[in-house]
Amino acid sequence: MSRFFATGSDSESEESSSADEITPKATGTTFSKHIVCCPLRFRFEELTNIIKTIRNAMKIRDMSKCLEEFEQLYRAFLKSKTIVDKEGVPQFYIRLLADLEDYLNQLWEDKEGKKKMNKNNAKALSTLRQKIRKYNKDFETEIVSYKEVLNCSPNDEESESEEDEESEDWGSDSVDSGGESEDNEGAAASLAVVFLKKYVCFNLELLSLFLFDGFKRKRHKKMEQVDEEADEEGEGEEGGWEKVKGGVPLVKEKPKMFAKGTEINNAVVIKKLNEILQARGKKGTDRSAQIELFHALAGISNENNLGEGILVKIKFNIIASLYDYNTNLAAFMKAEMWKKCLECIDELLDILFENSNIFIGENIAEDSENLAISDQPFRVRGCILTLVERMDEEFTKIMQNTDPHSQEYVDNLKDEGRVCGIIDRLLQYLESKGSTEEVCRVYLRRIMHTYYKFDYKAHRRSLGLQGETKSEQDQEESEGEDSAIIMDRLCKFIYAKDRTDRIRTCAILCHIYHHALHSRWYQARDLMLMSHLQDNIQHADPPVQILYNRTMVQLGICAFRQGMIKDAHNALLDIQSSGRAKELLGQGLLMRNMQERNAEQEKIEKRRQVPFHMHINLELLECVYLVSAMLLEIPYMAAHEFDARRRMISKQFHHQLRVGERQPLLGPPESMREHVVAASKAMKMGDWRTCHSFIINEKMNSKVWDLFPETQRVREMLVRKIQEESLRTYLFTYSSVYDSISMATLSEMFELELPTVHSIISKMIINEELMASLDQPTQTVVMHRTEPTSLQNMTLQLAEKLGGLVENNERVFDLKQGVYGGYFNRDQKGGYQQRQNYQRGGYRNQNQSSY
């Protein structure tokens, strides 16, 4: 068994055959090389590599490294469980375990040395010691036997220690020396094990060991000879051995894909493919070389016209290994890798389109694949949809990891077109071939790439503008249907056919977003209300929640553009009031201390971020929110100036106002917030012109309003709203000063038409907000002057409070009575309440009489 541990070739050589002869048939298995020896060798190579590092770490007393490696070793050993079961526990493994335990115990005893150790190491030492103790229990017999071997044959030990050193640099050593030393130990070990199994008697065992020792030494010499011969032969035949690194034996052989003269057919290529695949995911496998290998293989199969089936298979593998290239999930693809990946997928799709007789699917078993050219259609295992989805994710990752203000970002963004193209092609392909579920998935991908883009063409078309030049017009026509129609079609398909809730939820949200983006407020709102997403969105996963938040925000902004201030405010309230809009929209992380969020969480959160080109402008969002809050809050404040129980409509807006008030020196507004605060102050006085000039000016235009597609319309709406709300505020604030006021004056003051003024005032009167009546013949508002003054308001409040006080006092009195007179115990409830009622009534009567 041990023969193949470190031999680095997969093609046949004399050496292995000679080894076959020499190796005692300890396990009694005969193996054909290609099937058994590959996994065996890989597994054991992995183990020996780790052991090597452990020994190195032991030498430099690096306990933490030791612990780490030991854990890896343990895992690797578990992986090779099947082989171990078949072949028995490898001797080198046992040896390491025993040595390590001894070593650790020795360290443990050495108190002085322990003190000198740094904290990490000391900690690692104790954990490692415990672990290995526990672990070694499973291998007790083997270790004991090993130790006996050591004790009984000092000679042997010596030789082994020599071998130790040898084996430590297996990796860089030449193949034959590695093989040789390995062989010796292996043989010795396996023999020992066999003997142990057979003879329990200690004496016998000793005897055998001594005997064996002699035998081994003889054989050792013989071995060397054989090896030398083999070497020479090898040189003669293959033109020189290449020195092979322990870890990656396959890669270096790459140029020699197939032996000369081998007839290249399907079976050979597939075998080779599998061989390469074996190395996938292993530690120490050179991933870039693997990709090249696949490419070469693809080239070979192309040259030899092996048919599309095999090509598709290889392409699948190329793309998969491209994805594998980064082991870290957070890392993103390098540019050239990404390009390659795109090309590959494109080519794959080309092939698939050209050859309609290829069936692909993830549920086609490896065995039932049909790759050879025959009458039957090709059957290839693999899922193109998954690959494309993965590609899309990689694209997102690339965008997330690029600085959004660099040229690089723009360059990367150009690839978006290609990504969309690929998704489109896949969509066409799957529409004809895929199952509904797959179609739903690819539709969702398509939607995800469409929903956040504003369709300027459709916008222009709807405005009735034709493209200026003829060529542009042509382009427009050639570019096909409106995104709205596409969205509608795709989403409706998903609504009808999708069975997983998640895809449907995403589709609905995207659909709403798209509607909102294109100012189709009523459709968007109805869809949102019909979906009932508000009720259960908190159970969704974070990416969907982020999408939901984005949609709500877009909905709010849309409502604002349509002049539905109240709706806009309500939609934005949740996001804005938390003060974490940035985080909720997935547009950046908030600065927080590490206690609240460890590095792991931060990574996860980073992965959720929305790429920059999909961001919603946060300043626009805040401005829209604040302006709508202003339009609602200022008249409300004016109306309820003296109300003690006045509620705030928007806490955030009040906060901004307070911040503005706290400023010691009030200069002209600079930021957007200051503009809104200044405008609010003007509005409080009913001065709509100043308010207007603060909200709509050069600065605000460039910062906020110009970001809307229909800037002019929005601005007009805004001016009108400001006029109306200012009028209301003015009437609330100053009604007490007027006996009557002519509506003509008001309409002149606020530059509103008379009917509008009339309607606003009528509404206020109906809602009992304004105590006044309209005098029709003279077109004036006559104030009733029933509003209490501030002093009166305050007195009312005081009266209320005193009422409460009296009530509380009564209660104390009641209790006293209860305690002394037994009143309370007799009928607790009735008596108490009766008294209460009586008292309240009395108090009210008193109040009324005093008014």
Partner 1 sequence: NLPFFITCLVVLKIIKHYQEEGQGSEVVQGVLLGLVVEDRLEITNCFPFPQHTEDDVDFDEVQYQMEMMRSLRHVNIDHLHVGWYQSTYYGSFVSRALLDSQFSYQHAIEESVVLIYDPIKTAQGSLCLKAYRLTPKLMEICKEKDFSPEALKKACIGYEHMLEEVPIVIKNSHLINVLLLDLQEKSTVADKHELLNLSSSNHLEKSLQLLMDRVDGMSQEIVKYNTYCRNLTKQQQQKQQYLQRRQQENTQRQSRGEPPLPEEDINKMFKPPQAPPRMDTLLIAGQVNNYCQNIKAFTSQNLGKLFMAEALQGHSS
Shortest distance, position 843 Cβ to partner 1, whole Å: 15
Nearest approach, Cβ of residue 816 and partner 1 (Å) = 7
Residue of 803, 791, 811 lying closest to 848 (CA atoms): 803
**Of 617 and 817, which CB lies nearer to partner 1 in the complex structure?**
817
The Cα 26–Cα 209 span in angstroms is 16
Decide: is 821 part of the binding site for partner 1 (CB under 8 A). no
DSSP per position, 348-362: HHHHHHH-TTEEEET
Least distance (Å) from partner 1 to the CB of residue 824?
Answer: 7
Question: What distance in Å separates the CA atoms of residue 205 and residue 149, rounded to the nearest whole number?
Answer: 9
Smaller CB distance to partner 1: residue 64 or 793?
793
404 or 818: CB nearest partner 1: 818
User: Measuring CA to CA, which residue among 92, 119, 84 is closest to residue 184?
Assistant: 92
Instruction: Tell me 613's DSSP state.
Output: G
Answer whether 368's CB lies under 8 Å from 376's CB.
Answer: no
295 vs 840 by CB, closer to partner 1: 840
Going residue by residue from 451 to 490, which x/- string records binding to partner 1, judged by CB under 8 A? ----------------------------------------
| DSSP designation for 614 | G
- Checking DSSP bridges between strand 378-381 and strand 780-783, what pairing results, if any? unpaired
Task: Name the residue type at position 286.
Answer: D
Positions in 758-817 near partner 1 (CB under 8 A): 790-791, 794-795, 797-798, 801-802, 804-805, 808-809, 811-812, 815-816
Q: How many CA atoms lie within 13 A of 650 on its CB side?
A: 32
Minimum distance, C-beta of residue 799 to partner 1, in the bound complex (Å) = 10
Residue with smaller CB distance to partner 1, 255 or 830: 830
Q: Which is nearer to partner 1, 105 or 846 (CB)?
A: 846
- Tell me the backbone φ, ψ of residue 239, rounded to 5 degrees: 70, 45
Under the binding rule (CB under 8 A), the answer on residue 127 touching partner 1 is: no
Phi and psi, residue 360, nearest 5°: -125, 155
End-to-end alpha carbon distance in the chain: 109
- Least gap, CB of 740 to partner 1 (angstroms): 25
Inter-residue contact 638 to 587 (CB < 8 Å): no
Q: Which one, 219 or 811, has the nearer CB to partner 1?
A: 811
Q: What one-letter code names the amino acid at 589?
A: L
Q: How many residues bind partner 1 (CB under 8 A)?
A: 20
User: Which DSSP string do the residues of 679-744 spell out, in sequence order?
Assistant: HHHHHHTT-HHHHHHHHSSHHHHHHTGGGSTTHHHHHHHHHHHHHHHHHHHHHHHHTTT-SEEEHH
Cα three-residue angle 786-789-792, rounded to 5 degrees: 105
Least gap, CB of 717 to partner 1 (angstroms)? 41
Closer CB to partner 1, 29 or 789, in the complex? 789
Compute the CA torsion angle 176, 177, 183, 185 (nearest 10 deg): -170
Question: 18, 43, 22, 20: which is closest to 31 by C-alpha?
Answer: 20
The phi and psi torsions of 207 (rounded to 5 degrees) equal -55, -50
The residue type at 168: E
DSSP secondary structure code for residue 153 in this structure: -
CB of 801 to partner 1, least distance (A): 5
Residue 359 φ then ψ, to 5°: -105, 130
Tell me, residue by residue from 672 to 711, as one string, x for binding to partner 1 by CB under 8 A and - for no binding.
----------------------------------------
Nearer to partner 1, 475 or 846 (CB): 846
The nearest distance, CB 788 to partner 1, in angstroms, is: 13
Contact string 536-575 vs partner 1 (x = CB under 8 A): ----------------------------------------
> Least distance (Å) from partner 1 to the CB of residue 822?
11
Site for partner 1 contains 819 (CB under 8 A): yes
> Would you say 65 or 835 has its CB closer to partner 1?
835
Pairing assessment for the beta strands 378-381 and 358-361 based on DSSP bridges: parallel
Q: Count CB atoms within 10 A of the CB of residue 731.
A: 25
CB of 794 to partner 1, least distance (A): 5
Residue 812 Cβ vs partner 1, minimum distance, rounded to whole Å: 5
Q: Which is nearer to partner 1, 742 or 808 (CB)?
A: 808
Write the binding mask 822 to 851 for partner 1: x where contact by CB under 8 A, - elsewhere: --xx--------------------------
Which two structure tokens, joined as six digits, stand for 224?
Answer: 């060397």
8 Å CB contact between 769 and 732:
yes
Please, what is the minimum distance in Å from the beta carbon of residue 804 to partner 1?
A: 6
Nearer to partner 1, 130 or 828 (CB): 828
In angstroms, give the least distance from the CB of 792 to partner 1.
Answer: 10
Residue whose CB is less far from partner 1, 744 or 798: 798
Q: What distance lies between CA 126 and its chain's CA centroid?
A: 37
Which residues make up the interface to partner 1 (CB under 8 A)?
A: 790-791, 794-795, 797-798, 801-802, 804-805, 808-809, 811-812, 815-816, 818-819, 824-825
